[in-house]
Structure 1
């Protein structure tokens, strides 16, 4: 307790004022320490968490729920779920979301593009992150025939299901709810584990059980492939994985988007994600995986963009450029790293970069604009700024003899030339990075 200030002695008054000041400082320091301690108690998805629910929002960003916390995307930190969906917790004081999914069926205009959350016997409907009037409602009112206290749910559009449906899970009981007719088909997936959450992503269906997951057939419940697998290895960007983790299998099949990609003068390509990178050899198509720290120790991790030019890899991170001679081991060139502004004539951060064969122009993508940098010029200057109307965010891009592959999320789009990419007004066919670039089988 701080000392009282009642005194008429100037010296004593000064001493007591000083004591009170120190007391207040100590209290603030302790409060800060308590706050810091609470912050350190946030759950870490890289430590084997069992998620309560999973869904994809209207922008395609995965949401994972654990207790009263929410993880956005594959590398977002834990935050309070009531910061994004306040009514979930503030009005009902619930500990966690039982199940969640996004309704994306245009034939159901009143429910299209809604996110549904299930808590005990209630369902919440959100449109553009706002709770709709009249909600929460009883589950039986909105989804007749579906029980309370669900464990998981996932949308299933046609033709993946015979009709636009929602699959609900409770124990081994599976309920296919047909959106248009509101009919319910009850099934039992005997070969499936009990799902604590379920997730449709990139056209595939995943059952999360504990900190593991299995891919399943949405009609039969049959587990497809070698499962279960560790969820954090394929649905989270972690600084380190278990000692028994198969780095090549994880990195080629991860659902986490790449940070950067390039192809060198020999036709080898390098793909970077978090602390790791994949190297694919052109001659024999062999894939290897290693840590960025080991092969490019000055960069450490988290590459923003990369391009290849004259047998060098230019790796962009933050406001710096690192130039490595392609060799074994890779060697950082003298004088690097350098500021992006000094080396390429543009302020960072940069989202993607690429150089096409037989050319000496680096194409830099920053936000929704692309710039050209003449690499043979001194000094180098970013010129020819053009807007990119097709994509809000580009993760990476790579140019080859057949054109440009542009990576957005977990997919890539092929354009026959840089000119067609910049001028395009509609999306070409969508391709899956893990399957079509890295030949992942699941």
Structure 2
């Protein structure tokens, strides 16, 4: 039933909920946040039509080591957003479908593994190769966990306090702590035929419907369940339109208006009312609407910076502050005028360096310093920089990056920037930060810089 799975640059499963037209079973809102981009099969494809009519749903859903979405049904698996089905054992030898559950488990300091559950046993694969000692009994690999599972999903410490796996079997939800081996029953959605952790969101699939749920409390936001055929597959007469491809395509060369990185390494790139997570390429590259993460935030972000577990988002003459933690919470009294908060009326780019109280505000060809501990004193004197204009700025452990159009300019430090008599050599921002092909057609040689 999976059809041409076209989730690339999809936009909606978080705080921005689509308004479904119940009469037609699809979203007719022209400003929809979900877009099916990438290669598609013809809509008259017999296989596609059959899958879209199939009500069975998925046996299992997970991501592979490279961030490709995997959808299992019967003896088949669909990989990514536009491939045809292939036999499960073509990629994971020694295992015949169907599988009961699947998850990607990340091992610190080592590669991720794909765990496939069937009956009383579990298989662990790394890049298609069966790991030594597998298959094993589930109760031996995860003490106390029963066989014949319905679904499984890993929960990272930042979402579940400690690293654990959530197992689903009928009405029962079990959490298994990977460090202590403690197994507990907990609240959560029942009767999940598949479960998925994707970009810090958790999903439970039931036939052709799915829920988003909190992995700690088990709570489900309003307006769920939704239909997988409107989101996780492309079906004739369903879905949410195409959208502006250049804006959603990280490799389009269109400029990003702002960047920000916090002390935990979460790095965001903002463009046209959307944002990309730069540090989460393990889960694929996706564009999301602002209110997917920052409730009630709309429009475009002109500049952004992080300090002391707070993210400052500047839009025109106003700034909104969100406190980080278990998600982002907008601080009371915001947005408020930028002039009142930072003593400046307009800004093109802003940045702080890791674990620093020093804020730098760029406007035109000048930069001003603000001590965030004593910001009521206002910004310091404007100092010239060797750029007539920059779109965004980002400071990491590897130095300062200034962005203008499709290019970035790297400086070892703020002091090096201020001492420069001309711009640093231009580099391809998309190739370096987003692993896109370079402008000359060569593959981007490296991923995003390490964060502090």
TM-score (norm 2): 0.46
The structure, 1 or 2, with the larger RCO (C-alpha pairs under 8 Å, 6+ apart) is: 2
TM-score of the pair, normalised by structure 1: 0.47
Give the structure with higher Rg (CA).
Answer: 1
| Structure that is richer in helix per residue | 1
